[in-house]
Amino acid sequence: MRRLQLGASDAAPRPGVVEWAPLTLLTLAVLVGAGLWVAGLRGAAQLVWVAVTLVALLPAGWTTLRQLWRRQFGVDVIAVLALVGALLVREYLAGAVIAVMVATGQALEGYAQRRATRDLRALLERAPRQARRRTPDGGIEVVSLDRVAVGDRLVVGPGDVVPVDGTVEEPATLDESVVTGESQLVTRGVGEQVASGVVNAGAGFGLRARKSAAESTYAGIVRLAEEATARKAPMVRLADRYAAAFVPFTLLLAGAAWLLSGQFLRAVAVLVVATPCPLLLATPIAIVSGLSRVARRGVLVRDGGSLEQLGRARTLLMDKTGTLTAGRPRAAETVVAPGGDRDEVLRLAASVEQLSPHVLAAALVRQAREQRLPLVEPTDVTEEPGRGVTGRVDGRLVRVGQLAGEPPEWARRVRERAELAGRSTVWVSDDRAPLGAILLEDPVRPDARRTVRRLRQAGLGRLIMVTGDRPRTAEQVARIVGVDDVIAQCSPQAKVARVKEESGRAVTVMVGDGVNDAPALAEAHVGVAMGATGATASADVADAVLTVDRLDRLADAVEIARYVRRIAVQSATVGMGLAVVAMVAAAAGGLPPLAGAFLQEGIDVLVILNALRALRGGLRRRDLPPETRELLERYAAEHGGVRDVLDRLRDTADLVATRPDAAECVPALREVHGRLVDEVLPHEAAEERHLYPALAGPLGSEEATSTMSRGHVEIGRMVDRIGGHLAQHPDGRLRPEEVPDLLAALYGLDALLRLHLAQEEEEYFSLNPEEGSAPAGP
């Protein structure tokens, strides 16, 4: 930022005491002069005030001359003219007050910049430089970070910063606040991925590097931080634009006052009150404060210009995969052949897929580990690209992939169900027949719909989803999240064209996470990359990066950007408006230079303090108390068990629908009813007693959970309805006339519970920073 300097020019913000030293010394000098004046030593007092004026004038004049030499004409010239004019008309105290005013602005600016950029500086200071690497002989060596290669086995000691992106080899307790902005400690299990830059808050653990240091998350964040701290805020350029009108107006008014009154003193008074500290200091302070705040929310913006554009945005284009959805497939449902075991089918498939690098294989293995299924090392593994993987598990031949031959009737129904739901199907077979199918989906982020609503509230009037996916799948996601338009089967070139088209109508933001999104991000007014997913190419061209894998932080950034821009413009317009009123009064002779200097000092302090409001406020979201977070974590973890019961419920409903006279129908009904009574209803009752009252504060009122409470009542009623049917069957057989009502209860309860779980995860669990990134249910 261009600013007047006392004793130095174009210097960086000075820390601590040095920052306030010029203001302190000049203020003391002015007070000493005042004391000399009161003591009758008026000549000595005036000499002191002249010295104070010259201390401000000489470096400021030199800076202004250099700017004019570079053809940079700004509002700085007014302050220089005011200092010169005060000396010419012998208003030495007024000149000294102007000098103090300039020093005050510098000190406040330095304080605000130091406070606003401390988060960015903290990123640079905490950047890891070394790593502990395991050696082939079992030892540990300390190496520089640039020597770490993909696949190296590292050791992260207690208190160490994780040096590179990697996979945890032992359970780890981590402080991810530097990267994500969240202070709560998190636990990562074996096989989970961690980003560089997080701090080990527990015992040492092993880490296998999956990226080099230069390609890791933290390196990208540091690069952006360096750029963000090096660039100028846009309101400085706005100040120069204002100068094109304000400086000539000031000089004309001062000249007119001198010409019409014949008093040069009036011209000096106009220049004194026109000193433009509100424009030079207050608005950049607001912008830099905004950069700091969005950084604390996990959004790193490259510069103030991007933040200002984000605050003016009216259109948002979002990629689907990895932005509105989790970006990685998840095993949504396991369907087995009649008489099969769901857990055994998943265990066999995951065991075979352990050695496959395919993204679908990782989803199966992850799901099996989450269910704590005992995986074994497969033998005789072969992989046919596009066909699948074959291997032996416990001596049994297992094939995972496409289905060979004519499928049986149950398999055809599964295939149709998957196509209707927009899911991928992985078939699990032995050497005789298919054993089952695992349906995979890319789930919508639980916070996506809430974030879309918040983005609309923040002023984005047009929200568009662009994706290369199939139209049916894309439209389903679009309906869930509530966007205005959806463009399916969209190539990277088509994305760029659409971004260019929308940018011609309004300020446009593009959000994406993949390499194929990079051209569209570069084309938008503001490109936002989901950097937590490791998409280096998109992050390198983006104007902002989400360092935490949470879409709602984009809504935080937009709300902060709009608030900061409003504060910045308010500070500039109010400050300059007050200055113009004072200038007119001075031109009319109603405000002498000394009084004008004190008045302008008050205006400066007022608008700068107003700009500091940008450090707080503007966010709609409410932070949760720690006890409420614990409740959300507890009940979110229980949803996995509830979904397991739902899978059994769906299997039982299918059995009753296809074979109502089978002997196993009633036993299956009794089993699933027992699990509903013993597992699901206690979960719902506990939420009603403990979780919903705790959410009344964060959500604004007790009425916010009333519809979900009604859902609990309906769930209990339908479980009782199923129990009522079972009570009528001592002989263990279903009567044909009761099958329709029983099926209505079974399928109705399945749909109701799935909707209820999805609503809780979207509306409630997404409020928790730790649980909000968990995928929503089917």
Beta-bridged to residue 193, according to DSSP, are 167
Which phi and psi (to 5°) does residue 383 adopt?
-130, 130
Is the distance from CB of 468 to CB of 489 less than 8 angstroms? yes
Is the distance from CB of 476 to CB of 283 less than 8 angstroms? no
Q: How far is CA 92 from the centre of its chain?
A: 53
For 602, counting Cβ atoms within 10 Å of its Cβ (0-12 exposed, 13-18 middle, 19+ buried), the class is: exposed
Residue listed under structure tokens 């980003």: 195
- Is 319 annotated as catalytic? yes
The H or E element that residue 381 is part of is strand 379-384
Interatomic CA distance for residues 208 and 187, integer angstroms: 17
**CB-based contacts of 689, cutoff 8 Å, min separation 6:** none
Interatomic CA distance for residues 580 and 590, integer angstroms: 14
Cα-Cα-Cα-Cα torsion 78, 80, 82, 85, nearest 10 degrees, comes to -130
Q: Enter the tokens of residue 103.
A: 């020093």
String of DSSP letters for 712-777:
HHHHHHHHHHHHHHHTT-TTS---GGGHHHHHHHHHHHHHHHHHHHHHHHHHTGGGSTTTTTSPPP
DSSP 506: S
Interatomic CA distance for residues 61 and 69, integer angstroms: 12
Interatomic CA distance for residues 765 and 622, integer angstroms: 14
Please give the C-alpha separations between residue 756 and each of 24, 417, 640, 760, in angstroms, as whole numbers. Answer: 63, 21, 14, 6
For 43, counting Cβ atoms within 10 Å of its Cβ (0-12 exposed, 13-18 middle, 19+ buried), the class is: exposed
Interatomic CA distance for residues 583 and 660, integer angstroms: 91
Closest-CA residue to 575 (of 563, 586, 583): 583
Options 303, 319, 442, 552, the catalytic residue = 319
**CB-based contacts of 325, cutoff 8 Å, min separation 6:** 442, 443, 444, 445, 448, 477
The H or E element that residue 643 is part of is helix 626-658
Interatomic CA distance for residues 714 and 294, integer angstroms: 42
Which phi and psi (to 5°) does residue 200 adopt?
-75, 110
Which phi and psi (to 5°) does residue 185 adopt?
-70, 145
Closest-CA residue to 108 (of 237, 13, 31): 13
String of DSSP letters for 708-719:
HHHHHHHHHHHH
Interatomic CA distance for residues 380 and 395, integer angstroms: 10
**Residue 454 identity (one-letter amino acid):** R
- Give the three-class secondary structure for 509: strand
Is the distance from CB of 335 to CB of 437 less than 8 angstroms? yes
Residues involved in catalysis? 319
